[in-house]
Chain A
Amino acid sequence: MSQIAEIATGGQIVRRAGLLSLSRRLTWRHGALAIIALVVVYLTLVPLGMILYGTLTDGPPGTGASFTLQNYVRAYGSPDIFRAAFNSVSFAVLSGIISFIIGCYLAWVTERTNTPFKGVIYIAVLVPFLVPGILTTISWVFLLSPNIGLINKVAESLFGLDKPPFNIYSFAGMVWTFGIDHITLPFLLMAAAFRSMDPTLEEAASISSMGPLRQFYQINLKIMFPSILATCLLLFVRGIETFEAPAVIGIPAGIPVFATEIFLALRRAPTDYNLAGTYSTAYLLITVIGVLLYLRVTRVAEKFATITGKAYRPRVIDLGTWRYGVLCLTMLVLFIGVFLPLAIVLWASFMPFYAQPSWHMLSMATFANYVAVFELDEFYRAFWNNLVTGVSAATIAVLLSVGIAWIVIRTDIPGRKMLDIIAFTPIALPGVVLSLALLWLYLTVPLPVYGTLWILIIAFVTKFIPISLRVVHASMLQVHKELEEAAELSSSSWLRNLFSIVVPLILPGLLVGWLYILTLTFKVLSIPILLSHVGTEVLPVLIFSLYQSGGITELCAMGVILTIFIAVVAGLTRLISARFAIKAGE
């Protein structure tokens, strides 16, 4: 007995056993896994490599250009890039502060106070999630433009001003538009943080002799700090990669940020791919730093036991009569931030031409814009393109995520953590950079992808894999390993077991991820704006080009239709996740 034991631990046998486990690993199941891993690497790393390659060459994609550092000299030698960097960062920081303050305030109101009508507040804050960013941005132009802005007009007549008080075409206008449109994300994250704070900690502090301010600082702020930081960093990353406000407001106002500089470099004639690529490197550097910090902070946040896992019923603060004051302030915020932008779009969608709301104009309200939209071939084409690319991308992303999550959770294959990280990298890829990278790749590689819907599908899959991966990962963690092993005992077909045991069990999670990605493809502009061509437009692109060509009222009707569609899909998602008690990860 002891002899065998000795042999068993002897180096030689162990080495042979290593070989054996390797050979067992090389079943075709691992072939399938290897393909998934390769696809993920191909989707994420190859375009990045392509862009880097491009910045080091002296010709557009696909030409046999030679290596040069000239692009870097050109880009970094001009003050433009530093101006863009400064604008991008300050835009992201300032708009993030606005979003955070408002979102956090609303979360506090609904989670920690006895303010009435919490349900209404809660639903109202979720609404901006449903409206495509391009539409809200345009609606703020309707509200704050110096010529036609509703708020300006009202303020002028109310206070007898001879000059419009606000100008949307300014840095402040850009910051405000993006900030107010992104209150939902900090609201949800901070509400979760409030909810997961153990009320006994506060009670312990009140029993001790801490003053209320000191208590707030010592307990609430310190405990919530990681969540606050994570939320702010996420807002920063969102802000820095956004395209809508910089394009609609920043370009006419002459405020360059990275996203628009790259866009313009590609729209200018002659197209300057190399310069755009070089800008992308600086752009990427900033987003990567933001994402890395975010990941660090969330890891720290997970270590804070008080902030994860258990949900508590937070202690509700009795505001007394103050609660009506808080209610008024909250309603005012929601009226300006959520209701007004939607209302002005809805109003305009019924107008024969763009005009301020008035009783007189109301009598001229018409369905003509809606009729026109439904008679527009481009609308059907864009909707169809959007549906095809959205459905395909969501399906592919979710299936790939199943494979990745399975590898990460269930196997001990070396490098699986790396795969997880690689699949997560697109979170740091701004839409325009990803698009540029894909353009470069498919203008170089002779595959029939450029100019087709495929390039859009590939872009969507790449960009949204991190989202589906998180949802799928969380669901798969819930599936006990033994459930799968019980199946493995009876059938050697890995795929059969996967699809009859694991997939049905995580189906609600898959569906939520799938639907969420589908809605995103109907909202995001930064990705298709560079990749869509005549015939392959999707709805946000169509809205943007209608805006540029002045089809304002029609655009509004189209926006309303699109928002209703997204709301229906989102409602479905919520139903499913409520039914199966899943939280769609942000």
Chain B
Amino acid sequence: MISVQGLAKTYAGGNVRAIDGVDFQVETGKIFTLLGPSGCGKTTSLRSVAGLEQPDAGEINLFGETVFSSTRGISLHPSKRKIGMVFQSYAIWPHMTVLQNIAYPLKGKGLSRAQIESKAREALRMVDLEGFEDRPAPKLSGGQQQRVALARAIASDPRIFLFDEPLSNLDAKLREEMRGHIRALQRKLGITSLYVTHDQVEALSISDFIAVMEKGKIVEVGAPRDIYLHPTSRFAAQFVGLTNIMPAKLRHGDAGDTVRVDLPFTSLLCQGLTTKAHSKGDSLMVLLRPENVRVSSSSFNCETNEWRGRVISSIFLGEFIDCTIACGDFQVRARVNPFHQFEDGAEVYLHIAPERFSLLTA
């Protein structure tokens, strides 16, 4: 288990607050992702856990052992924290062969040469790189280097894995493949993992839990499904996926799990949601994912949640059509099945199922 409390770190003599009170816990065997835009402090948090960065304040516990504590003056050397780390640049030592790369961390640990070699080979086998033992490291492709980095992290039986944007230097196809690979390996070994990325798809697909970070702080933690479907912060809603955010007011008082809200151009019925707003007239934000908007040139003949709008633009993207539709003063983005075809300026009908909204207190 990884437990991080009150982590803070400034750079440039206190002028840059890289992270500012970061707390999170990673349960044993789970993979936990720090997700956020570039510069929000993900790397700094990860490197603090690794011991490569010295936080100004906070406490870090790994499986009950305090490895860093500013108040108690504890700071364990990175090598004492039993960590396997995969760096963004892979950090494969170019002057060594594949096997030497993997064996280096095993040396000086009281193992015999034969033991080191068999452990290294075992790690290589796990990343499907058998037969590459004597290849000089620079003679590998990006994906292969990534695997060597992974094998090197595995080989020394770490308690935890740390990943810093490990896939960002790979092309799209390979990224998807490696994502699955890392996920499978992590499951198989059951190693508690901390993963850093700015790519929401990567985070959603790989994680057990995601922490969304903004400006050095964690704004929201949750399972991928919850983060995406029911974000509890505007930032998370906007950063993870595309969202229409519409200001609304509660029409009735506390109404259980079905509420009616008023938008400037229409009113909506929202189902299966609870909000913290309880009294009539409370301001809310309605979050609506583009893929939940149904668009048609003829009326759906539904009593609820049907609006009329005018197509401003529609861009054909293959998998879907990215439509922007004007509803009153508001512009709604919608993802439409590619077989549809809408002229710009055409009048269309929009329909959203009552249970496919999220509400946020404004």
Report which A residues bind B (CB closer than 8 A): 1-2, 4-9, 13-14, 16-21, 23-24, 480, 482-483, 485-493, 496, 500-501, 504-505
Contacts and interface: CB of A to CB of B under 8 A. Distances in A.
B104 interface: yes
Greatest chain A CB density within 10 A among B8, B20, B106 is at B8
Contacts of A483: 89, 91, 93-94
Interface string B76-99: 011110011101110101110000
A7 B57 CA distance: 9
Contact of B104 (A5, A14, A480, A487): A487
B73 A14 contact: no
B168 to A, nearest CB: 13
Interface of B: 5-8, 20-21, 23, 50, 52, 54-58, 70-71, 73, 75, 77-80, 83-85, 87-89, 91, 93-95, 104-108, 152, 156, 217
A440 to B, nearest CB: 41
A9 B54 contact: no
Contacts of A496: 108
B7 A480 contact: no
Contacts of A493: 108
B105 A9 contact: no
A500 B8 contact: no
A492 B77 CA distance: 7
27 contacts: A4-B21, A5-B20, A6-B21, A7-B6, A8-B6, A9-B20, A13-B71, A17-B70, A24-B54, A482-B89, A482-B91, A485-B52, A485-B87, A485-B91, A486-B152, A487-B93, A488-B52, A489-B50, A489-B78, A489-B79, A489-B83, A489-B105, A490-B106, A491-B108, A501-B93, A505-B93, A505-B95
B58 A8 contact: yes
Given A9-B8, A488-B79, A482 B57 contact: no
A510 B342 CA distance: 67
Give the 6 A-B CB pairs with smallest separation, nearest first.
A5-B21, A490-B105, A4-B6, A8-B57, A482-B91, A486-B91
Contacts of B78: 485, 488-489, 492
B7 to A, nearest CB: 7
A493 to B, nearest CB: 7
Contacts of B75: 20-21, 24
Given A14-B57, A24-B54, A500-B104, A8 B7 contact: yes
Greatest chain B CB density within 10 A among A7, A23, A490 is at A490
Contacts of B91: 480, 482-483, 485-486
Nearest to A493: B108
B108 A505 contact: no
Contacts of B93: 483, 486-487, 501, 505
Given A20-B73, A492-B80, A501-B93, A8 B8 contact: yes
Contacts of A6: 21
B23 A23 contact: no
A8 B85 CA distance: 27
Nearest to B58: A8
A530 B6 CA distance: 63
A478 to B, nearest CB: 11
A542 B156 CA distance: 60
A145 to B, nearest CB: 55
B54 A16 contact: no
A21 B20 contact: no
Nearest to B162: A489
A493 B52 CA distance: 14
Given A5-B6, A20-B75, 16 more contacts: A1-B23, A2-B21, A4-B6, A4-B58, A5-B8, A5-B20, A5-B23, A6-B21, A8-B8, A482-B88, A485-B91, A486-B152, A489-B78, A493-B108, A501-B93, A504-B95
